[in-house]
Copies of this chain bind each other. A is one copy, B any other.
Amino acid sequence: MIPYIQLVPPPIQSLRNHCASCSVLHLCQPKGANKSELHRFEQIISRRRIPRERALYRMNDPFTHLYLIRLGHFKTYQVNAGGAHQITGFQMSGEWMAMDAISAEHHQCDAVALEDSEVCEIPFFKLTKLFTEMPALLHHFHRLMSKEIARAEGRMLLLGNMRAEQRLAAFLTDLSSRYGARGYSSISFQLRMTREEIGNYLGLTIESISRLLSKFKKQGWLNVENREVELLDHASLKALATGVEPENGGGKFAPWN
C-alpha cells in the first residue's frame, strides 16, 4: 500500500452546512433553488473525507446514502465470481455515486478514492421525503439518474464497437470535456489513475495503453509525461473517438452501413 498523508479531520462544524457556497452546488441542486430549500437540504446531509485508496463503500454493503463528490476523484469497480475486476467509472467533483444501489438496496460495486477526497453524504430515505415538498429537486434527481443510464449506454458503444485507438481517444476527450465543464483546463490535466486502471476501464491491457499514448505522442496529438497530459490536437482525437475514421467511413464493426 502506498503511503499517503493522512488528512487531519477538521472540526465537524467546518464540514457542515455550507451548501450556498459549495463549489459544486450547481451540479447538486436544480437551478433556482431558494434559500429555504437549500437549508432543508443542508439539514439532512453531512460531509465526509475519504483518504486516497480508501473505500467509500464496498460491493454488497447495505445501501443507505447517495454520495456527491465535493472534491477529489473516485473509481468504481465490480468484481465477478472469478475475481476479475471491471472499473465501471471514474468519478470527479460534482458527480453522484451509488445510484445503482437503490434497486437492490445494497451496493453494486466498490467505490475507492483515487486521491484524498471529500464527499457529501445524502441519506436516501430522507432525500425521498424532501422530494414530496420540492418537485424541482425531484425532477433534477430524475435527470441525474437518467444521465447515468445514458452515460452507461455510451460506454457500451465504446466497449462493444470501438478499436483500441478509438477507446483511448474517447477516454481522453471525455476527461477533457469534464474538466472543461468544471472550469479547469480542458487541454492540460493530470491523470488521477494508473495506466492499468485506464486499461481495465477501456477493456485493454496496460501495455496497449502505454503503446497508444506513445503513438499519439509521436503523431503530435498530445504530450504525456507520467500522469501529466496535454492535448495538442483535440480535433483529431475527437474525430477518432466519434468514429469518423479518415481511411474508411465506418470502421470494421458497422454491419448495417
Which residues does A use to contact B, with CB under 8 Å? 78, 80-86, 88, 99-104, 108-109, 128, 131-132, 135, 138-139, 142-150, 152-157, 159-161, 196, 200-203, 205-206, 242-245, 249-251, 253-257
Q: Let me know if A102 and B135 touch, CB within 8 A.
A: no
Given A82-B251, A84-B254, A160-B203, the answer on whether A147 and B103 have CB atoms closer than 8 Å is yes
Q: Let me know if B242 and A153 touch, CB within 8 A.
A: no
Q: List 6 A-B contacts (CB under 8 A).
A: A84-B161, A84-B251, A86-B156, A149-B152, A152-B152, A159-B159
Beta-carbon nearest neighbor of A253 in chain B:
B84
Q: Let me know if A242 and B80 touch, CB within 8 A.
A: yes
Contact of A156 among B88, B242, B256 (CB under 8 A): B88
Q: Let me know if A82 and B244 touch, CB within 8 A.
A: yes
Bound CA–CA A100/B153 (angstroms): 9
Q: Let me know if A256 and B85 touch, CB within 8 A.
A: yes
Q: Let me know if B146 and A135 touch, CB within 8 A.
A: no
Bound CA–CA A156/B202 (angstroms): 9
Beta-carbon nearest neighbor of A104 in chain B:
B150
Given A84-B250, A138-B131, the answer on whether A200 and B149 have CB atoms closer than 8 Å is no
Chain B residues within an 8 Å CB radius of A83? 243, 249-250, 254, 256-257
Bound CA–CA A152/B80 (angstroms): 15
Bound CA–CA A149/B256 (angstroms): 27
Chain B residues within an 8 Å CB radius of A242? 80-82
Q: Let me know if A243 and B146 touch, CB within 8 A.
A: no
Chain B residues within an 8 Å CB radius of A152? 149, 152-153, 155-156
Chain B residues within an 8 Å CB radius of A257? 83-84
Q: Let me know if B203 and A159 touch, CB within 8 A.
A: yes
Q: Let me know if A135 and B144 touch, CB within 8 A.
A: no
Chain B residues within an 8 Å CB radius of A131? 131, 138
